Structure 1
Amino acid sequence: MSNDKKTIGVVAAYEPILAKLISAGHFGSELEAAKFAMAFAISKGVPAGLAEGAATKWNVGTVDADASLRAVIEALYPQTNEPYRLVEFLMNEGLSLMDSSDGLPPDVAGVLFNSRLATGADA
């Protein structure tokens, strides 16, 4: 029997980062911003882990209504038995990685374009 998450949340320390992404107008919802943060963490090669102390924010059905996110996580992290627990961890790690610690909203454009430059992708 799986002990996978039924709800997904953000650790209190990363809530301000999520709020800054929304207030800067980069995303239409906290969930969109959290999914972007998750993708950023994946792009940085963050290994699987657990988010300790994440408060409930979204139901898994809201985060992944068609189970496509689950399929992506299972493909990228085949060792995981709890893909939604990993989604939560990656969202939180991505927010942590995006924190500039200077009080300013995370630089979403910089994240996108620096990632492209680092991989040698054409502009």
Structure 2
Amino acid sequence: MTFRFDPASFGRAALLFVVLVLLATFGRNLGWVRSFFGDVLAVAWVYYVIRTFVRAKPVTAAAIAFACGAAVELTQYVLTRIDVQISNRLLRIVFGATPDWWDIVAYAMGAALVLVLESLSNRKKTR
């Protein structure tokens, strides 16, 4: 892995960030779209942030992005087990407050999604 700046990944990360902010602020009534799809997009966002600044294999970057999501979920689980409540509204929006195994599934789907998109992008480049 080496450091670099990739404008295309930066653009994708910026676009996903805007979508995630819109989901977090205006998606309150969207149910599973906000929660599950938001988690899928969050891992994709982390992936593109990594790819913006680090030259790494897509599988490696996707694994790191998935691990970040899993770490957030583990933190939520530990905090609920020791009965710590997240009272800060912004932290509750960003990190959530309730651990859920479906979130792990969403993170895995996000990692798989970016790998599929990278594969499709590489196919177009070789043609």
- Higher Cα radius of gyration: 2
* Higher fraction of strand: 1
TM over 0.5: no
If the length of structure 1 is used for normalisation, what is the TM-score?
0.31
Question: Comparing both chains, which one has the higher relative contact order based on Cα–Cα distances under 8 Å and sequence gaps of 6 or more?
Answer: 1
